[in-house]
């Protein structure tokens, strides 16, 4: 088959998710709930035919991916291109803090200005280019196979937009829950297509839907 099947998974919950703090490239560990979510996701995909698992190097994603690799048996490789968007000096803050300290920047962020980048951070354009390049390259390596990508809210949001042909400024109406299972199909002619999104049926409780993680 001239296609690659992709399962995209967001990492488990962290304390910064609970506190609504912007994580970005800051390396925050899973909390107890996040570790449990990772095990539940791994159990749900234990018998899934996976040829390879690729993960962001940030520990919240890597620990989630390791749970899947330990259960499924697929080989796990780190790929830094799957990191969350870099939020620079905003990392560790809450959006409400930025609304007070820099209301003009907060407005551009809220309006999803594609060219806006936090100080020392990435723009949405930068993030999309990075993620699109990574997924195209990985998918080409696994034609006719199925792979898993374990990453972050911003990465998954980008994958959804690419697969549904929605622009960077389109309002988000889809969920990005912790350890949600999302299915995509990639072909060399058409790129990404959406197969299924936001499956959290493996969880006893739904993870937080938060984008800056």
Q: What are phi and psi of 78, to 5 degrees?
A: -80, 140
**Euclidean distance between CA atoms 184 and 57, whole angstroms:** 22
Q: Which of 25, 51, 52, 84 is catalytic?
A: 84
Whether 84 is a known active-site residue: answer: yes
Task: Using the structure block, give the residue that is written with the tokens 């296609």.
Answer: 3
Instruction: Name the maximum alpha-carbon separation found in the chain.
Output: 53
Mapping DSSP to helix (H, G, I), strand (E, B) and coil, where does residue 42 land? helix
Question: Exactly one of 11, 25, 142, 152 is catalytic; which is it?
Answer: 11
Number of C-beta neighbours around residue 2 at 10 A: 8
| Residue among 197, 179, 193, 148 at smallest CA distance from 7 | 148
Write out the E strands in 106-205: 146-151, 181-187, 191-199
Measured distance CA(84)–CA(56) in Å, rounded: 8
Instruction: Return d(Cα 191, Cα 157) in angstroms, integer.
Output: 16
State the Cα torsion 205-15-79-211 to the nearest 10°.
70
Query: Which residues are catalytic, by number?
Result: 11, 84
């Amino acid at each position: 088959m001239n296609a690659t099947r992709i399962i995209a998974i967001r990492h488990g919950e962290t304390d910064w998710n609970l506190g609504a703090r912007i994580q970005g490239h800051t390396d925050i560990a899973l909390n107890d709930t996040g570790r449990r979510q990772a095990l539940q996701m791994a159990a749900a995909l234990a018998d899934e035919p996976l040829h390879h698992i690729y993960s962001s190097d940030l520990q919240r994603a890597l620990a989630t991916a390791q749970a899947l690799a330990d259960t499924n048996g697929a080989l796990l490789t780190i790929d830094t291109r799957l990191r969350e968007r870099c939020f620079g000096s905003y990392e560790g803050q809450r959006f409400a803090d930025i609304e007070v300290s820099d209301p003009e920047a907060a407005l551009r962020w809220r309006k999803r200005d594609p060219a806006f980048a936090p100080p020392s951070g990435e723009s949405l354009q930068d993030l999309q280019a990075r993620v699109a390049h990574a997924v195209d390259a990985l998918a080409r390596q696994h034609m006719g196979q199925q792979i898993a990508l374990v990453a972050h809210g911003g990465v998954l949001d980008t994958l959804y937009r690419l697969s549904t042909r929605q622009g960077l400024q389109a309002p988000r109406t889809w969920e990005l829950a912790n350890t949600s299972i999302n299915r995509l199909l990639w072909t060399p002619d058409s790129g990404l297509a959406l197969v299924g999104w936001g499956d959290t049926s493996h969880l006893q409780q739904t993870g937080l839907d938060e984008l800056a993680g």
